[in-house]
A = this chain, B = another copy of it.
Amino acid sequence: MKNLEMSYLMDFYGNLLSDKQREIMQMYYQEDLSLSEIAAEYGITRQGVRDNIVRAEKELTNYENSLGLWKKFSRITDNLGRIRALVEQGSDMKSSAEIIRLIADVENDI
């Protein structure tokens, strides 16, 4: 099963992979090609494609473990959703205070 998290990590750190690894990962995760289809495209074995993907996944995971930027962005997105919900439900003093608190949370995260 393809891993949704890897698509996100590709968005963040994909540019740090080699051109070939990035292309293979894009075909696999973003264009949803099979290992065999990618193998045919590159004239390499199915196992060769798999090896490239496993190596690239490991690199992307290492970058996230070192930097944690995807996790950080996810928290920001969650807080933005809360802010929008508060704004949409109309405002009073209490919701304004809550919005400002959420913005401060996001800013501390950055």
Contact = CB atoms under 8 A, between A and B. Distances in A.
Interface of A: 12-13, 15-16, 63, 66-67, 69, 73, 76-77, 80, 83-84, 87-88, 90-91, 96, 99-100, 103, 106-107, 110
A21 to B, nearest CB: 14
Chain A facing B: main interface SS: helix
Q: How many copies does the complex hold?
A: 2
A63 B66 CA distance: 13
Given A84-B103, A91-B96, A73 B110 contact: yes
Given A76-B76, A87-B99, A100-B84, A15 B110 contact: no
Given A83-B83, A106-B80, A110-B73, A13 B67 contact: yes
